[in-house]
Structure 1
């Protein structure tokens, strides 16, 4: 060993191992290190800092660990009464091992023994462990190590995408900005020209941050923005049960109504397929779940007649619409309704007088789904549901013919020339948000699953799905469509090139099974104890000491843990420029700058209009669109 190596070892040695219990190691500090400061190559290091790294040399490799406790609480229970070294104890959690060649790996192949030396980890050690992005293509820079701006925080993109990840942090911790920063890095067209990311944006935050590299689909696109398109989720692309939930809703428990609807849907799809053949689908393998266009308006109109119609007894079969007793309008025309417009037919009241030649009765054997038919009729007439029930070029006519098919929809979502697709779901009625998210995820998963061996499938070109505000729809016991398919994605998606990034401010409200499948965590400031315990419980490493730091993290600072990093990193995430950040900032109540310095006075710093008009206020509210129709 050279003189310099000996002097470095002497400078970095801080104590020795006294107790080993699993991955937890108790260490006594050297008496000459009790000052808490040591210098290595002219740089000072604080000894015994919670969350700092230490190494234990064993032969030709070093064990690495994180300091989780310091002082009296770190004394082993068996020695608590004796305290032979006063309060100069610390507890270290072992997390991995490195070799003198510079290679580092997670996990422990052997354990330290009594009196093994414990050393500080210097910046030179960290540079070896964390590596350099210009040497390894799979590493991307997301920021720098907190306290060491010269050391890049690098994550393994392979593990980040396919092994799933979670970004968690309380409101105001910089969570949305962190996600935007990560997506900016992952969508770099020079490094990753085939990157493919779908963002489920519940609040319309990311169009501003990612607009130049994203195609935005929203219910009410801005006509001035060429990157925005109308969001269309055609009902016929859903499975039969998915379609029932978002159209008819809950049906009677006897199953009669469901069976009748299923038979009619299957017949309508068969007729549509015969008129407009679809490659890969035949009459033999057609099912009610097959994504074949058909007219829901026509089906609704027919079922409405079965449940509401009255008929003239004297005219023959009650099942024949020619015998039905329609009401008459002012011009004495029958009110037979309009299927495409969602207008129901109107029928005369029952007239059951003995020997009356115009005796009128209800059509027998109705489906008993009057409430569901009325509700569906209102959806067909209200524009808020047009993204689903009148989905633009994907809306079928009475014969089930559409302008664009399922391949066009998949190309729009997955084959955009831009690397990011933002599905802005902020305009979807809250009552069906959970179902719609589940339906979108299921369509994406099924498409990539079956096309996994093709050039646009998941194996050849993996997909990352970013689920913003995940606690809003993943907070049950897999009773909802969103939870069921998300569980499948996080458990099986890795094999087919589908990765998930779960983003939430309340990880304690997310189903624990889903969170436990996330291999990498970007844990930002979390003040709530149950949220911190949920993150700690989902981690495979014994890192309670590190996660105890979560309440004191700065805005924009995260502890990155898991498979995408060699060692857990306390990182300052590189935020995008101010003009490219998510639209999630708090409104300004009072500007901190003086009026002379400020370019954007705060909301309460400016005088209101003398005679403001609230007509646009009410118009945007009623049409569920933040842009008034008369002021684009």
Structure 2
């Protein structure tokens, strides 16, 4: 760069250095806030803009973080020369003059070192990789120069954690949709596989031509929309408790009884419908074996609310349970399949009354939890998880669809993107459902790690909307 151009790009000089934070005084002749170099206009001291500091053969690059009086170093604020204007920059990387930019700082500026505008040639050294390279995808152009593409390294994006952040209305969702469009180009990336957890239902329309959409209330007119169904029996025991019963008594008695009953029901299913790789010897409460949740709820309800005729020293059995009766004399036994509970007569133990009615023993103190679960079994908005279509077990545990079929529909489709639209999930379940989905997806890839469907040949990119919310931390702890 010749002396004239070098003078035109000069912003000011370094006055204070604190680690990677550098305070700079602007030149006294920089009043317009706009400078022209080779016909190109540059904003002076704009927050977020790049600057460079030549130090010998090295050029240090930084980003403007503060402008104005607040950028003055504390130890100089009282003696600040009249008419000086200040900016504060954060050093981010370096490079040899005309060479390649690299992150990190190996040396630091000194007092009175010159600070210059970053020209398009400089920006090209920072961003200037060609989008034609197979592992790079263009997502737009950089804010400082429309002639330089903004590129994303696909290898790093898929194999690392990353985040897109910005203020409300800044275009985060639009950016994500554009990025997903680029990544799901089946010509360029035939092995692309993406799962989007969409809690606001924003991406179905944007990706409708290349995605399968799973939502609680799918549009039957759209062939790409299908019902979102998450089998409760594929959850771990702790996840299942959170979805169904919620908080249980601290003494642990109820939790142990429920655990034993779940294992018993899963064992009965396994005996009737054997599955490869699982036997009664290695069966656990977390094994993904179908069982009837309605039957579990009904049996627990009877134990908790039930009464029986205890006269003549009778022991409680279903044969002598004290049901209330209908007008026609029939017992009101309820309907487990519909989530309708039975009704029992109130206890009475009058001395001269031959009919004595007593509570069933071993009360678990979970009446409120059982009432709540019964309501969920009757309300359609919980069907996606408690009555999940082809994956809903019959009373004996038989199901039409297995877990492999469900994972195949999510991860093995011919379309590169799967959108799990969670906008219809009850807010009380949202945290748990997201954690469950992440855990199930991880388990599916883990157990398929030696197959082509696993992560070796086709890595899975999971896109989470509003990942800053507290449920992400909870999900990560579960996973």
The alignment's TM-score, normalised by the length of structure 2, stands at 0.90
SS class of match (1:242): helix
Post-superposition Cα deviations, 1:301-360, rounded to whole Å, max 9, x if no partner, equal: 211221222222257653421222233334433333322222222333334233544332
1:485 aligns with 475
Q: Is this contact kept in 2: 1:318–1:363, CA < 8 A? A: no
Q: 1:195 to 1:376 in 2, by over 3 A?
A: same
The aligned residue for residue 417 of structure 1 is: 414
Q: How does 1:437-476 map to 2 (within 5 A)?
A: 437-452=434-449, 454-470=451-467, 474-475=469-470
- Structure 2 unaligned regions, length at least 5: none
Query: Does residue 256 of the first structure (1) align with residue 253 of the second (2)?
Result: yes
Deviation of residue 441 (structure 1)? Answer: 2.2
Deviation of 1:242 (Å): 1.3
What are the Cα deviations for residues 237-278 of structure 1, in whole angstroms up to 9, with x where unaligned?
Answer: 111121112112222222111111110101111121222222
Which residue does 1:40 correspond to in 2? 37
Closer, same or farther in 2 for the Cα pair 1:36/1:392, shift >3 Å? closer
Distance between the aligned counterparts of 2:217 and 2:258, measured in 1?
A: 32
- Alpha carbons of structure 1 residues 314 and 23: separation in structure 2 relative to 1, 3 Å: same
In the alignment, does 2:333 pair up with 1:336?
yes
Aligned match of 1:208 = 205
SS at match of 1:111: coil
Out of 293, 304, 327, which is 2:301 matched to?
304
Displacement after TM superposition at 1:108 (Å): 0.5
* Deviation of the 1:449 alpha carbon: 4.3
Alignment of 1:110 with 2:93, yes or no, is no
SS across alignment from 2:137: strand
Q: CA deviation at 1:411?
A: 1.5
Q: How many corresponding residue pairs?
A: 479
What does residue range 109-188 of structure 1 map to in structure 2 within 5 Å?
A: 109-146=106-143, 148-188=145-185
Conserved? CA contact 1:452–1:460, under 8 Å: no
Aligned to 1:435, what secondary structure does the other structure show? helix
Q: Is the CA contact (8 Å cut-off) linking 2:310 and 2:316 kept in structure 1?
A: no
The higher relative CO (CA closer than 8 Å, separation ≥ 6) is in 1
Query: 1:343-395 deviations in whole A, cap 9, x for unaligned?
Result: 22233333423354433222222222222222222222222211111111101
Residue 435 of structure 2 contacts residue 478 of structure 2 at CA under 8 Å; is this kept in 1? no
> Is the contact between residue 234 and residue 388 of structure 1 (CA under 8 Å) also seen in structure 2?
yes
The structure 1 residue matched to 2:365, chosen from 358, 368, 371, is 368
Q: How big is the shift at 1:19?
A: 3.3
Q: Does 1:275 align with 2:272?
A: yes
Listed one character per residue, the Cα deviations across residues 441-463 of structure 1 (whole Å, up to 9, x for unaligned) are 22223333454454333454333
Contact 2:340 2:374 in 1 (8 A): yes
Whole-Å separation in 2 of the counterparts to 1:39 and 1:158? 38
Following the alignment from structure 1 to structure 2, what is the Cα–Cα distance between the partners of residues 426 and 53? 40
- Residue 62 of structure 2 aligns to a residue in which SS? strand
- Judged with a 3 Å threshold, the aligned counterparts in structure 2 of structure 1 residues 89 and 200 are, in CA distance, closer, same or farther, namely closer
Name the structure 1 match of 2:430: 433
3-state SS of paired residue (2:288): coil
Distance in 2 separating the partners of 1:88 and 1:428: 53
Distance 2:8 2:372 in 1: 76
SS in 2 for 1:408: helix
What is the match of residue 223 of structure 2?
A: 226
Taking the aligned partners of 1:169 and 1:136, their CA distance within structure 2 comes to: 28
CA distance in 2, matches of 1:431, 1:289: 23
Structure 1 residue ranges without an equivalent (≥5): 490-632
- Equivalent position SS for 2:188: coil
Contact residue 213 and residue 420 of structure 2 kept, 8 A: yes
- After superposition, the CA RMSD in angstroms is 2.8
Instruction: Please give the alpha-carbon distance, in whole angstroms, between the structure 2 residues aligned to 1:46 and 1:374.
Output: 65
Counterpart of 2:287 in structure 1 is 290
Contact 2:266-2:290 within 8 A present in 1 as well = yes
Q: Deviations over 1:183-217 (max 9, x none)?
A: 22222222222222222222322211111111111
Structure 2: distance between partners of 1:214 and 1:61? 48
| CA positional deviation for 1:38 | 4.2
Instruction: Indicate the larger mover: 288-297 or 40-49.
Output: 40-49
The question of whether the paired residues in 2 share the 8 Å contact of 1:36 and 1:48 is answered with yes
Change over 3 Å in CA distance of 1:389–1:344 after alignment to 2: same
Of 263-272 and 98-107, deviating more is 98-107
Equivalent positions of 1:11-90 (< 5 A) are 11-30=8-27, 37-70=34-67, 73-80=70-77, 82-83=79-80, 86-90=83-87
Q: Write the distance in 2 (CA, Å) between the matches of 1:362 and 1:335.
A: 17
Structure-2 separation of matches of 1:27 and 1:52: 14
Shift of 1:111: 1.3
Secondary structure, counterpart of 1:206 in structure 2: coil
Q: CA deviation at 1:401?
A: 1.3
Distance 2:104 2:402 in 1: 50
Does the residue aligned with 1:44 lie in a helix, a strand or coil? strand
| Residues in 2 aligned to 1:229 and 1:91: alpha-carbon distance in whole angstroms | 53
Per the TM alignment, residue 171 of structure 1 is displaced from its structure 2 partner at its CA by 4.2
Q: Do the aligned partners of 1:102 and 1:129 also contact (CA within 8 Å) in 2?
A: no
Q: CA offsets per residue over residues 495-534 of structure 1, 9 Å max, x none?
A: xxxxxxxxxxxxxxxxxxxxxxxxxxxxxxxxxxxxxxxx
TM-score in terms of structure 1 length? 0.70
Instruction: Assess if the C-alpha contact under 8 Å between 1:34 and 1:88 holds in 2.
Output: no
* 1:220 partner SS: coil
The equivalent residue for 1:192 is 189
Which string of whole-angstrom CA distances, capped at 9 and with x for unpartnered residues, describes residues 567-608 of structure 1? xxxxxxxxxxxxxxxxxxxxxxxxxxxxxxxxxxxxxxxxxx
